[in-house]
Amino acid sequence: MRRSAALFWLLCASATAQPAPHNLIFRNVDVFDGFRMLRNQTVAVTDGMIATSPSANAEAIDGTGKTLLPGLIDAHIHISQVQSLEQAAALGVTTNLDMYAGYMQNLMKLRTELKAGQHPNAADFRTAGVGITAPKGHPTELMPDIKLPTLGPKDDVQAFVDARIAEGSDYIKIMYEHQLPTFTKEQLAAIVRAAHRRGKLAVSHISTQAEAYDAIDAGVDGLAHIFDDSPPKPDFASFAAAHHIFVIGTLSVLQAFAGAPTGSQLADDPRLGPYLFGPSWQIIHVKLPKQFSRGHRFEYAQAAMRQLHAAGVPLLAGTDAPNPDTGWGISLHHEMELLTGCGLTTLEALHAATAGPAREFFLIDRGRIEPGRRADLLLVNGDPSKDIRATRAIVGVWKAGVRINRDQVRQEAEKSRH
């Protein structure tokens, strides 16, 4: 009995041991460094970091015909369990910014396990934790089984925000959504001030243009969506630019809301679909009922993004997976393509999924390929600066210098689909 317990412990210990980061040298590789393309480069990785020169025992990787990019960052996602992060990593997304977590204890447990090296194939994440919403506000209707904390008109705003930070929120997400009970503009501004007093970013959910104006006026740092209810007013982008905000477009989900699903097509791509776990495979194939698209016009969202881009407002790639028609990791490739449809060049779209979100969310250790940054890397065949879809031709993904075992993730995903 004691013996088998010891054996069990040994097996667990070996399964969860932290893999040592490999020293690497990529040769003859084109590099997107977070801003621009650099041709025919050598990139060295030592102890999980990008180094100025290769170490003697480095594993050589020939990059001929390939492009090396920073691991991608999805700036609007919701994660629940480790599979979300394994799927994301296998598909090149090494950092995920969670924008509302109903099950905060699960995420904090996951964070501890990741730190201990227990999930070598899982992407990294940051989380808003439980977002700040009014009693019966969005998204309480989506999680009727959980007793979510809500902020009533008489509650102490600072104490509420502090409680979220104590739970582990990395930034503060505010739910400003008038289809359900929500905050007054004064409350919104008070929440933003409370977040800023603690040095935290305040990001707001909005779905209409009026809400977007209110949130910007209240001092938020960023919008977690663009609106799709009305064409942007002529001064919308200059108003946003004057307030120095960033905008996470979530075009993937808005396109689905507007009645133009793309998820099945993405999942049919043999380079992407096989990495989807069962639940994600189901959600990406969910078709929203026709009447749902009432009030959603994708061309309004595109027009607003185009206007913001022209005004120089930082645009970040975020998918809002796992909403219907979207999936972890997979949808970010589509999101970058959608950004190019709003006037961004391919380089700007890649920036929106790498150095852009790293800068806005103060993830100073990543998002760029240069010595001293974490070796979160994505190697693809071809040149995504010429064809943005080349990001889907994944050759390898590394998290802090450790290669994600994509074959293992694909096999586990396949099993979970049957």
Contact positions vs Zn ion (CB under 5 A): 99, 320
Comparing every residue's Cβ against Zn ion, the nearest one is: 320
**Residue 222 or 384 having the CB closest to Zn ion:** 222
170 vs 320 by CB, closer to Zn ion: 320
Please state, in angstroms and rounded to a whole number, the distance separating the CA atoms of residues 377 and 66: 13
Find all residues with CB under 8 Å of 233, minimum gap 6, and list them.
Answer: 209
Looking at the Cβ atoms of 99 and 284, the one nearer to Zn ion is 99
CB of 319 to Zn ion, least distance (A): 9
Residue 203 corresponds to which tokens in the numbers above?
A: 């990001």
> How far is residue 82's CA from residue 87's CA, in Å, rounded to a whole number?
9
Closest C-alpha among 368, 370, 397, 393 to residue 382:
393
Query: Whose CA is closest to 213, among 172, 185, 179, 173?
Result: 185
Burial code (b: 16+ CB inside 10 Å, e: under 16) for 181-197 equals ebbeeebbbbbbebbbe
d(CA 91, CA 393): 10
Q: How far is the CB of 375 from Zn ion (least distance, A)?
A: 29
CB of 97 to Zn ion, least distance (A): 10
Instruction: Label the pairing between strands 222-223 and 246-248.
Output: parallel
Q: Which residue has the tokens 């009447």?
A: 291
Angstrom distance (rounded) from CA 97 to CA 261: 23
> Which residue's CB is nearer to Zn ion, number 207 or number 391?
207
- Indicate the residue among 321 and 355 with the shorter CB distance to Zn ion: 321
Q: How far apart are CA 95 and CA 363, in angstroms?
A: 10
CB of 409 to Zn ion, least distance (A): 24
Q: Cβ distance 81 to 324 under 8 Å?
A: no
- Shortest distance (Å) from residue 138 CB to Zn ion: 10
Q: Could you tell me whether strands 66-70 and 24-32 are parallel, antiparallel, or unpaired per DSSP bridges?
A: parallel
CB nearer to Zn ion: give 228 or 320. Answer: 320
Residue among 32 and 298 whose Cβ is closer to Zn ion: 298
Report how far residue 26's alpha carbon sits from residue 91's, in angstroms, rounded to the nearest whole number.
Answer: 20
Residue of 229, 44, 204 whose CA lies nearest to 132:
204
Nearer to Zn ion, 43 or 174 (CB): 174
Residue 104: burial class (beta carbons within 10 Å; 0-12, 13-18, 19+): buried
Between 205 and 297, CB nearer to Zn ion: 205
Question: Which DSSP helix (H) or strand (E) runs through 111?
Answer: helix 104-115
- Indicate the residue type of 4: S
**For Zn ion, the closer CB: 45 or 72:** 72
Residue 142 C-beta: closest distance to Zn ion, Å: 10
Q: How far is the CB of 77 from Zn ion (least distance, A)?
A: 8
Side chain identity at 259, as an amino acid letter?
Answer: G
DSSP state of 229: S
> Closest distance between Zn ion and the C-beta of residue 120, in Å?
27
What minimum distance in Å lies between the beta carbon of 83 and Zn ion?
18
To the nearest whole angstrom, how small is the minimum distance from the Cβ of residue 93 to Zn ion?
Answer: 16
